[in-house]
Amino acid sequence: MKPGRAAYLTSVAAVYVFLMLPISIVVIASFNSGKYLRFPPEGFSLRWYAQFFASQPFMDALELSLVLAAVSTLAATLIGTPAALYYVRHAKNWRETFRLYTLAPLLLPEILTSIALLFLYYQIGLGTKTVAGLYFGHIVICVPFVFLQVTASLYNLSPAVEEAARSLGASPATVFRRITLPLIKPGIINGALFAFIISFDNVTISLLLKGVGTTTLPMQVFDYLRWDFDPTTAAASTVSILMTLGAVLAVDRLVGLRAMRY
Amino acid sequence: MTRLSIEALEKRFDAVRAIAGIDMEVAQGEFVALLGPSGCGKTTTLRCIAGFESPSAGTICFDGDDVTGLPPEKRDIGMVFQNYALFPHMTVNGNLAFGLEMRDIAAGEVQRRIAEVLGLVQLDGLGERYPRQLSGGQQQRVALARALVIHPKLLLLDEPLANLDAKLRDEMRFFIRGLQKRIGITAIYVTHDQAEAMVMSDRIVVMFDGIIHQLGTAEDVYDRPATRAVASFIGLSNFFEGTFSGQVGVHYGLDTALGRIGCGAGFALTPGQKATAMIRPEAIGLASAVPNGAAAFQGTVAERYFLGNLADYRIKMADGSVLQVQQPATASFAPGAVVHVILPADRAWLVRERAP
């Protein structure tokens, strides 16, 4: 093996180790039978999973996080996709301004976005008595991810392909349904996956905007860790990792990750 | 088989006039090339015919029916794009079936037509492939088949060979031309390649800066170019500026710095008027002795380049001008040799400085 290739493989391996090691330690720790979150674990047990699933606060938080992520993903996809189409194909003089505004939630520190939204909510009388503001905040930070991914896939799609379909007798609506949409589908799916993951483990936005008396899973884990140091949080983290993986696998099942090519 | 008429076509993009008034008639089954440098308006013209651009003024008629306001999908055209523009998520069959499905053609007929057109473009058996599994030339033929399978009124081609390598491009010229003749479809072909335009078309439309400089056969534009721009763009030319001196026999006289040369003309001039004549390098004769009868001008061989079938000379003339002359490589004049340059009056041609 050439030294260059060895260095390359080593660095790839290092990236994997640094990314995966903390995660696998959390997963292993969640099966600990002892009373404290520690590594290596003291024996095998599923008791912390039982505790997690039996805990009403954790279940409420999990449910809110899942619904929140699903709704934010759907909304961000429905907003981000047309925004990308507009930006790439139709925006003329103000297209860079438009792009900047759309990406602003990604470019600005999230804490600024959430403080700004909080001010806005109190200004318009929405406050944080309901979860509406939380949903809105999550949608705002998810849109740029869909926008970026769909924009990239639109740049790869030559306008001539759509024109060819027009010349063959397809109306603009048919062209969108039969040509454009299938060809930007990978970007939409990628963007939606990003949106789901961003929403599902978001802390900053949720911290300020969550409604009174409600909480998301990452917030609940955080709150719980302040008073208890038992492996329930490791179980919660493992479940949330599984949820994220589940989202990826569900996409694979529904549309096929192989469909990512087209 | 459709007749295309374009009248007073204009297209402005903001302040820029991409097409500044174009009139042309294309007969049924005719193959017409739109030729010109980039930015001359040839592609915009094609896109107006296709319906992708709406003209600022003028009309476009297919067989006398005004289609100017129709969207592309209602025009019944087959179009071939420079980068093929195949649908990457569909097989060859899927690509070919698309236009037929838009026309609600029965499944059996769709199959029959696809098989027929695949045969025409010699791609039998490749129907299940995806575009990415095909070579550039094959993709180009699928694009051609996709445009033809719908039996369109017009075949529009936008530099379809520009992305192919030289050898394949040569083959495809004859292939496309042969296919167009066999089917008898009216075709408009946009290219910036003069050789392509000359080999393929019945007539050539030479455009500069949004206007037509000349519309004629390959012989017309090569031997009798209408303007200096046409002569420069197509093939090589020598230009002589001078004063028009009136008719001399069947030809006209032009008094230049070299002396009087005879030439033909396609437009009326008055004696005393400034004019420019052009002559192709291969039309000029070289002789070591003063020839009988023909007007000859003395010059010195400055440079000689061997091109294989031809020798390319730079001849320095008495007035300091340099002529480009091409002769069969068999005759050889060495650099420094004094030669007599013959400018045949029937090969010299007066050109306008600007489009009529």
Cβ separation B146–A164 shorter than 8 A = yes
Residue pairs between chains A and B whose CB atoms are closer than 8 Å = 65
pLDDT tier at B132, thresholds 50, 70, 90: very high
**Nearest residue to B226 via CA among B244, B251, B252, B208:** B208
Kindly state whether A171 is in contact with chain B, defined as any CB-CB distance less than 8 angstroms.
yes
Q: pLDDT tens digits for A9-42?
A: 999 999 989 988 888 888 888 888 877 777 777 7
Q: What percent of chain B has pLDDT over 70?
A: 99
| Count of CA atoms in the C-beta half-sphere (13 A) of B338 | 6
Mean pLDDT of chain A: 88
Residues in chain A within 8 Å Cβ distance of B99: 168-169
pLDDT tier at A255, thresholds 50, 70, 90: low
Nearest-angstrom CA–CA distance, B86 and A183: 12
Residue B156: what pLDDT? 96
pLDDT tier at B294, thresholds 50, 70, 90: low
Per-residue pLDDT at A207 exceeds 90: no
Cβ separation A161–B86 shorter than 8 A = yes
Nearest-angstrom CA–CA distance, B302 and A250: 78
Closest Cβ–Cβ partner in A165, A167, A262 for B88: A262
Kindly state whether A161 is in contact with chain B, defined as any CB-CB distance less than 8 angstroms.
yes
B119/chain A closest Cα distance in angstroms: 20
Closest Cβ–Cβ partner in B85, B86, B99 for A169: B99
Residue A129: what pLDDT? 75
Q: Which of A74-78, A228-232, B243-247 has the lowest mean pLDDT?
A: A228-232
Per-residue pLDDT at B202 exceeds 80: yes
Contact B148, B183 (CB under 8 A): yes
Rounded to 5°, the CA angle B151-B154-B155 comes to: 85
Q: pLDDT tens digits for B31-61?
A: 999 999 998 999 999 999 999 999 999 999 9
Nearest-angstrom CA–CA distance, B111 and B109: 5
Residue A37: what pLDDT? 74
Cβ separation A161–B71 shorter than 8 A = no
Cα dihedral sign for B346, B352, B273, B281?
A: negative
Asked if residue A191 is part of any domain, the answer here is yes
Asked if residue A71 is part of any domain, the answer here is yes
B85/chain A closest Cα distance in angstroms: 4
Asked if residue A29 is part of any domain, the answer here is no
Residue A147: what pLDDT? 96
B251-256: strand order across its sheet: B259-263, B251-256, B238-248, B274-279, B349-351
Residues in chain B within 8 Å Cβ distance of A182: 89
The whole-angstrom distance between residue B95's C-alpha and the CA centroid of its chain comes to 30
Per-residue pLDDT at A258 exceeds 70: no
Per-residue pLDDT at B331 exceeds 80: no
Residues in chain A within 8 Å Cβ distance of B85: 158, 160-161, 163-164
Cβ separation B81–A164 shorter than 8 A = yes
Per-residue pLDDT at A102 exceeds 80: yes
B77/chain A closest Cα distance in angstroms: 6
Q: pLDDT tens digits for B165-183?
A: 888 888 899 999 999 999 9
Residue B12: what pLDDT? 92
Contact B34, B46 (CB under 8 A): yes
Task: Give the domain range for residue A123.
Answer: 55-260
Per-residue pLDDT at A195 exceeds 90: yes
Residue A262: what pLDDT? 46
Mean pLDDT of chain B: 92
CATH number at residue A194: 1.10.3720.10
Nearest-angstrom CA–CA distance, A10 and B36: 56
A158/chain B closest Cα distance in angstroms: 7
What contacts A182, CB < 8 A, 6 or more positions away?
A262, B89
pTM of the prediction?
Answer: 0.83
Identify the burial level of B322 via C-beta atoms within 10 angstroms of its C-beta, where 0-12 means exposed, 13-18 middle and 19 or more buried: middle
Closest Cβ–Cβ partner in B52, B102, B156 for A168: B102
Residue B15: what pLDDT? 83
Q: pLDDT tens digits for A153-162?
A: 999 899 999 9
Residue B193: what pLDDT? 92
Mutate which: A158, A168, A171, A260, vs B, most B CBs within 10 A: A168
Cα dihedral sign for B221, B227, B229, B235?
A: positive
Q: How many residues does chain A have?
A: 262
Residues β-bridged to residue B16 = B13
Residue B284: what pLDDT? 92
Q: What is the ipTM of this complex?
A: 0.86
Asked if residue A4 is part of any domain, the answer here is no
Residue B179: what pLDDT? 92
Closest Cβ–Cβ partner in B102, B147, B156 for A170: B102
Q: pLDDT tens digits for A106-149?
A: 999 989 999 999 999 888 887 777 788 899 999 999 999 999 99
Cβ separation B85–A182 shorter than 8 A = no
Q: Domain total for chain A?
A: 1
Asked if residue A104 is part of any domain, the answer here is yes
Q: pLDDT tens digits for A168-177?
A: 999 999 999 9
Residues in chain B within 8 Å Cβ distance of A262: 88-89
